[in-house]
Each structure stands twice: as C-alpha cells, then as structure tokens.
C-alpha cells in the first residue's frame, strides 16, 4: 500500500492522539477516588445497619415509656375516682372495698414508677448509642460525598481533555487518505497499535531491535511504501529517513 511520507507522519500523530485518548480513558476508569469509594461501601453498609439498629432500640424504649405513662395516667384517674367515692361513701363495706382498691392502685403505681425509671435509664443509653451511630454514619456519608465530588471533578476534567483530543483526532483523520486510515484502524483494532516509529534499528511498536535482514528489507522499500513491524504487524514509519 502506498502512502506519502507526510501521510505516514499523520499516522504517527494519529497514534499519539489515540494513545493519549486511551490513557485518559484508563485514568478515568481507574481514578483512585473511585477505588476508595468502592472500598467505603462495606463501611457505609455497616454504619447504616448500626444506625437503624440503634434507632429501632430507641424507638422500642420510647414506645415502652409511652405505654407505661399511659398506664400511670389510668391508675391516677382510677385513684382520684376512688378517693372521691370514698369521701362521700356512707357504707363502711363500700369504703372498705374502695380502700382495698386504693391500696392495690398504690402498689401498681409504685411498680409503674419503678419500671418508668428503668426504661428511662435504658432510653438514655439508647439515645447515646443512637447519637453515636448517627455521628458515625454522618462521617461516613460525608467522606462518601467528598469522594464522589472528587470523582465528578476529575471525570469532568478528563472528559474535557477527551473531547479536545477527539476533536483534534477527527480533524487529523480527515487528512489521512481513506485506504491508509482503514488499514491503520484495522491494525489498531486487532493488535492495539496502528503505527509506530522506526528509530535506527528499533521498532517502537515492539521496542525491540530489528534483525539485520528485516532492517535491510525495510530500508530497501520505497519511501511511499507502507512497511510493517515484523514483531507486531503495526505500520512502521521511518522517521530517520524523512
């Protein structure tokens, strides 16, 4: 296949741009912040689980306190009613029954107040555990948000570079003759590199020195003849002969 030395030099520029674009894409895919964010997922999950468990524990004690307080209110209302009844009662038997019930209510009130104190202590502990779980989750979420912001900023910067390089590549590719460009693209798709420099006797496609016979055949080819790296198959551009 024929291609002028200028066309071959355009292939080198195209390869340099493709290498840059590939490097940018790798960098975008392997941002250290992305790996750090992935590594944070287990910690986030554990923090959320602890937060939800602490919240359930706190809600349980809160509900228990409300239940006990409701019982206390009922006992007080019953006691007030009995006290009013005993005050106006004219029957000793009725008064005795009311007094017995008041004694029972007093014991019940004592039990409820004791239980109330126990639950309040448990609620206080649960509140402290919940506050700590909330603090830990907030810290992890803040780190996650910070990492995500860093990822977004890095991706935006890389995307701008990619867009600029893609635009430059499109303009450059338009200058390459169609059959030569198709050959370059086919080679790049198959072996990962389309064109490389031949510096002295070293192919930059393989980073290896060519054998004397291989180098002799390449040197014998016309300047506008495409030659290929024996080791990789990529187009070799003879820069030292330009």
pLDDT at 123: 94
Q: What pLDDT, on the 0 to 100 scale, is given for residue 215?
A: 93
242 band by pLDDT with thresholds 50, 70 and 90: very low
At residue 55, the pLDDT reads: 95
Give span(s): CATH 1.10.287.1700, the chain: 31-173
pTM, two decimals, is 0.70
Query: Could you report the per-residue pLDDT of 163-200, keeping only the tens digit for each?
Result: 999 999 999 999 999 999 999 999 999 999 999 999 99
pLDDT at position 71 is: 92
Of residues 93 and 119, more confidently modeled? 119
Q: Which CATH class is domain 31-173?
A: mainly alpha
Lowest-pLDDT range of 61-70, 86-95, 120-129, 163-172: 86-95
Per-residue H/E/C for the chain: CECCHHHHHHHHHHHHHHHHHHHHHHHHHCCHHHHHHHHHHHHHHHHHHHHHHHHHHHHHHHHHHHHHHHHHHHHHHHHHHHHHHHHHCCCHHHHHHHHHHHHHHHHHHHHHHHHHHHHHHHHHHHHHHHHHHHHHHHHHHHHHHHHHHHHHHHHHHHHHHHHHHHHHHHHHHCCCCHHHHHHHHHHHHHHCCCEEEEECCEECCCCEECCHHHHHHHHHCCCCECEECCCCCCEEECHHHC
């Amino acid at each position: 296949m024929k291609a002028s030395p200028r066309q071959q030099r355009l292939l080198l520029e195209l390869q340099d741009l493709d290498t840059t674009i590939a490097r940018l894409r790798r960098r975008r895919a392997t941002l250290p912040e992305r790996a750090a964010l992935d590594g944070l997922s287990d910690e986030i999950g554990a923090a959320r689980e602890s937060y939800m468990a602490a919240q359930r524990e706190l809600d349980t004690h809160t509900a228990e306190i409300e239940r006990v307080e409701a019982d206390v209110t009922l006992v007080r209302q019953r006691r007030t009613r009995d006290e009013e009844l005993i005050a106006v009662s004219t029957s000793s038997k009725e008064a005795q029954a009311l007094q017995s019930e008041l004694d029972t209510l007093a014991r019940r009130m004592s039990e409820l107040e004791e239980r109330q104190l126990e639950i309040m202590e448990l609620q206080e502990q649960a509140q402290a555990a919940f506050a700590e779980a909330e603090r830990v989750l907030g810290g992890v979420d803040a780190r996650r948000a910070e990492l995500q912001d860093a990822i977004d900023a890095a991706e935006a910067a890389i995307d701008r570079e990619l867009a600029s390089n893609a635009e430059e590549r499109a303009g450059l590719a338009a200058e390459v003759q169609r059959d030569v460009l198709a050959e370059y693209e086919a080679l790049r798709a198959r072996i990962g590199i389309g064109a490389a420099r031949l510096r002295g006797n070293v192919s930059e496609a393989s980073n290896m020195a060519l054998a004397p016979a291989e180098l002799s055949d390449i040197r014998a080819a016309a300047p506008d003849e495409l030659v290929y790296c024996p080791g990789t198959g990529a187009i070799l551009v003879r820069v030292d002969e330009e």
